[in-house]
Amino acid sequence: MPDFVTTGYHWDKVFSGGGHVVADEPSKRIPEGVIERLPLYLGVLIQLRQDGQATVSSARLGELTDVNPAQIRRDLTYFGSFGKRGVGYDIVSLVDRVQRILGADHVHRLALVGAGHLGSAIANYNGLRQHGFHVTAIFDADSRKVGTRIGDIIVQHIDDLTRTVADQNIRIGVLAVPPDAAQEVADRLIAAGVRIMLNYTPVIVRVPSTVTLHNTDPVHELLHTLYYLSRIDGVDRV
């Protein structure tokens, strides 16, 4: 994925609420790594705010995120001036700024396709709502699941996807379907207007350049970590 360019990467076209990445200079490039670390900072900052802390130093934030404090300061300077020397960062202010940078300062509706065990777990995950992500539509092809409730959402038939996604102006879709249905469902979501997709299937789905895709298959993640477990155990797999 290319670097984010504040003049070229149109977050207002991705998020239904018009959020966008704001840099201190109009044409400054925002490296992907910076964007990937911002949610990490945000999660820790929100926890500190809940604990009643008013300020935090870059050194302490570095300890809690396992990111070099100098890297944290560099990351934040892409978006303006933060913190005071000897005082640190005002946590409430920094949470607000990072949320606005990420476009997480307003509600984003999600369409979830797949009402099985994984889909139900995703729909019921409280962390989504804490960051402004609301699952407002759930779909499944299994007639036995259609009409049932997951939380306060009634599962709809997959054939209702296009109409519902368009009616609710949903821009984010989540795939929790069997592998052989992944591409077809992805195509339906895209045709309905979805521009960000989280893919929980093991299949690599194809999407156009106008769609942001993130693959998050738990098995792939576990296989990735096995390599490091082998090194910890002193086993050479090569």
Residue segments in the chain with a per-residue pLDDT below the cut of 50: 1-27
- Do strands 172-175 and 108-113 pair parallel, antiparallel, or not at all (unpaired)? parallel
Helix or strand holding residue 74 (H, E):
helix 69-77
pLDDT of residue 17: 34
pLDDT of residue 228: 82
pLDDT of residue 225: 85
pLDDT of residue 21: 40
pLDDT of residue 28: 58
pLDDT of residue 106: 87
pLDDT of residue 22: 39
Angle between helix axes 91-102 and 32-50 (nearest 10 degrees) is: 140
pLDDT of residue 5: 32
Domains of the chain and CATH, by start: 4-102 (1.10.10.10), 108-221 (3.40.50.720)
